Copies of this chain bind each other. A is one copy, B any other.
């Protein structure tokens, strides 16, 4: 066996599923020298995860490809609840909106994982040279913990083997494999384009030395096992079958998301999908007898279909086309540790497993690495201090814990037998189920995530309590920089912006560009490009007093001694680390952009003035009034200032005059770039 020579990179991502691809996408946007490897020879084509939360769509939008998902996916609008009546016949008992109206500009949709991975791959190709290296198996992992805090070190050493084609090709071609994974003839895709085997390297091994590493290698994570970390939690008794079919049925709500509880035969969840497909999650009551791990090979599509037919009786259900099927047993577990020395991180299924029915899996996994990717990138690029890395575990392990608690309650209610009446204590109350479903919708949207107090989130309270227990509060800096280093805790003023919550994602309302009057969802300007943003709610700048406050703010930010200059590398544009955006509330037609302070419309020799930084909350000609100040809960006269992290989570809120605290926020987390 030929051994290749050692190679170096700044970031190695193991696993090219959605979590790994999300991390790679951050690397691409932040110019990181990253590699992403996967042991499989091709990406997935069908089946697997398919539900996408509002928050995932918002994240895709911040990378510029939400529109592709929005267009191809099936939009789930309404949930119909079906329950047995007094005779035991199932009836539609309720309709509730699938996504709570008003919480996002997107709604929950479904699209199979293979397409999502395609969009990531296209985005990687557009912004970088990063390509997924498929058929590459990691075999050995070493880390030199003693050099973890050395910024120049490559303390991680991974030995990988480049597989032959045969080794790397998963069973996707047969309809008879036990887990039902076979290739779809329905989903459009581009197989040949995707098979990137490391030809010429087949059978060779390679030593990769890297500064950072992320294990996104699934529930059986090789990386996690190398680190000796464990999963904590339990396996339930519930066995479920999954069919992705084009149904032929007289069930009236087959294009709605449905939760169907039969009287005695178990439950079905209906998830209508793209291309006329419908996914059915079907409770398999017969095969759960032995209580332990079930031999899935005894389950066939025919057994699953028959179970569905019993549950959905008297409606008829058959199919001629089946795209994918599988069966599973619910395990609900969370990893005990998400990182090793803040150099090697775990994300996605490698640190949490749970039921698929709430449509959370792919979303929470992607959001893990979405939380992590920019932090690693800013540290590698010398912009941010290493201390921000520990917020990954405190923020995401807490989310995983909350997810498992949610899933536990939801699964129990969904898998249980409906109560016959109020006295039937062994049964599940359908009123309780509906209530859980409605309350669960907010959680399921991904928008309830509320990161705890930390150096990145200047909110009151105890950071250990609000996270997973990790200490992520501010620490005395090592005297490397400024007068702010002695500030131990900065607390933002939440009451200045009642609907912009510190720790939660910055919401989006429609604003107009001051220069051309075009309406935009404000989130359009919070792209995932690694920059922090200061959103100046400038208030009513038609008032001379307020105008003067804003001019002073502009002067404070633009001076050569300002923190923005201090944290921006020499020779880089002034908005390359921290960008300043304004939303004012004065009438659009009464304000001239060029009369505002230069910091709000920087001049470039080749491109003239920047017309993309000042927005107004005013009536549009074609899209109504965004009522952004009302939506954000900000005073239209006085405004306020908000710091938004590169992942759109809110870090700090203050008055226009609170420039010292504003600088202090950045002082705790960024590295000064000039003397």
Q: Measuring CB to CB, which residues of chain A are less than 8 angstroms from any residue of chain B?
A: 67, 71, 74-75, 77-78, 95, 97, 99, 101-102, 107, 246-250, 252, 254-256, 272, 276, 320-321, 513, 515-519, 589, 592-594, 605-609, 611, 620-622
Residues of B within 8 A of A95 (CB): 589
Beta-carbon contact of B621 and A97 below 8 Å: yes
Closest residue of chain B to A107 (Cβ to Cβ) is B622
A95-B589, A517-B78, A592-B252 known; A246-B608 Cβ under 8 A: yes
CA distance A605 to B246 in the complex (A): 11
- Distance A515 CA – B272 CA, assembled complex (angstroms): 11
Question: Nearest chain B CB to A457's CB is how many angstroms away?
Answer: 30
Contacts of A594 in B (CB 8 A): 250, 252
Pick from B71, B246, B589: contact of A607, CB under 8 Å: B246
Q: How far is the CA of A558 from the CA of B56 in the complex (A)?
A: 45
Which B residue's beta carbon lies closest to that of A610? B276
Check B518 against A75 for contact (C-beta < 8 Å): yes
B247 touches A608 (CB 8 A): yes
Q: Is the CB of A606 within 8 A of B250?
A: no
Known: A97-B621, A592-B252. A276 touches B608 (CB 8 A): yes
List 10 interface pairs A-B (beta carbons < 8 Å), by A numbering: A67-B67, A67-B71, A74-B516, A75-B516, A77-B516, A77-B518, A95-B589, A247-B608, A256-B515, A272-B516
- Contacting residues, chain B, for A67 (C-beta < 8 A): 67, 71
CB distance from A246 to the nearest CB of B (A): 6
Chain B, residue nearest A611 (CB): B255
Q: Complex formed: what's the CA distance from A582 to B21 in Å?
A: 43
Interchain CB contact (< 8 A) of A252 among B78, B250, B593, B620:
B593
Q: How many angstroms between the C-alpha atoms of A276 and B607 in the bound complex?
A: 7
Q: Which chain B residues lie closer than 8 Å to A97 at the CB level?
A: 621-622
| Inter-subunit contact A621/B255 (CB<8 Å) | no
B621 lies within 8 A of A101 (CB): yes
**In the complex, A596→B226 CA distance in Å?**
61
Cβ-defined partner of A78 (8 Å) among B250, B272, B608, B621: B621
Beyond A606-B320, A607-B276, A608-B246, whether A517 also contacts B77 by CB under 8 A is yes
CA distance A515 to B253 in the complex (A): 7
Min Cβ gap A624→B in Å is 10
B248 touches A515 (CB 8 A): no
Contacts of A620 on B, CB cut-off 8 Å?
Answer: 77
> Known pairs A102-B622, A248-B608, A254-B608. 13 more at Cβ < 8 A?
A67-B67, A75-B516, A77-B517, A77-B518, A77-B620, A77-B621, A78-B517, A97-B621, A97-B622, A101-B621, A101-B622, A250-B594, A255-B516
Complex partner residue of A606 from B101, B246, B256, CB under 8 angstroms: B246
- How many Å lie between the Cα of A527 and that of B592 in the bound state? 43
A97 to B75, CA, bound (A): 33
For the complex, give the distance between the alpha carbons of A74 and B95 in Å.
41
Which of A77, A321, A605 has the largest count of B CB atoms less than 10 A from its CB? A77
- The residue on B at minimum CB distance from A75 is B518
A278's nearest neighbour on chain B, judged by CB, is B608
- Cα distance A102–B620 when bound, in Å? 12
Residues B71 and A517 in contact, CB atoms below 8 Å apart: no
How far, in angstroms, from A518 to B77 measured CA to CA in the complex?
6
Q: Which of A74, A247, A608 has the most CB of B within 10 A?
A: A608
With A246-B607, A608-B249 in contact, is A256–B622 under 8 Å at CB?
Answer: no
CB-CB nearest in chain B for A246 = B607
A658 to chain B, nearest CB (A): 32
Residues of B within 8 A of A75 (CB): 516, 518
- Are A99 and B622 in touch, CB under 8 angstroms? yes
Instruction: Say yes or no: A515 contacts B606, CB within 8 Å.
Output: no
On whether the beta carbons of A515 and B255 are closer than 8 Å, the reply is: yes
How far is it, in angstroms, between the C-alpha of A321 and the C-alpha of B607 when the chains are bound? Answer: 8
In Å, the complex CA distance between A519 and B107 comes to 12
Sorted nearest first, the 10 A-B pairs with minimum C-beta distance are: A255-B516, A248-B608, A255-B515, A77-B517, A97-B621, A78-B517, A75-B518, A320-B606, A255-B611, A101-B621
**Across the two chains, which residue of chain B brings its CB closest to A74?**
B516
In the complex, residue of chain B having the shortest beta-carbon distance to the beta carbon of A67: B67
A606 to B101: give the CA distance in the assembly, Å. 35
Contact A321 B252 (CB under 8 A): no
* Chain B residue contacts of A247, Cβ below 8 A: 608
Output the nearest chain B residue to A519 by Cβ-Cβ distance.
B77
Q: Which chain B residue shows the least CB distance to A621?
A: B97
Cα distance A249–B252 in the bound complex, in angstroms: 62
> Considering only CB atoms, which chain B residue lies closest to A256 in the complex?
B516
- Bound: A44/B272 CA distance, A: 44
| A593 cross-chain contacts in B, Cβ below 8 A | 252
Cβ of A367 to closest chain B Cβ, rounded Å: 22
Cα of A372 to Cα of B276 in the assembled complex, Å: 34
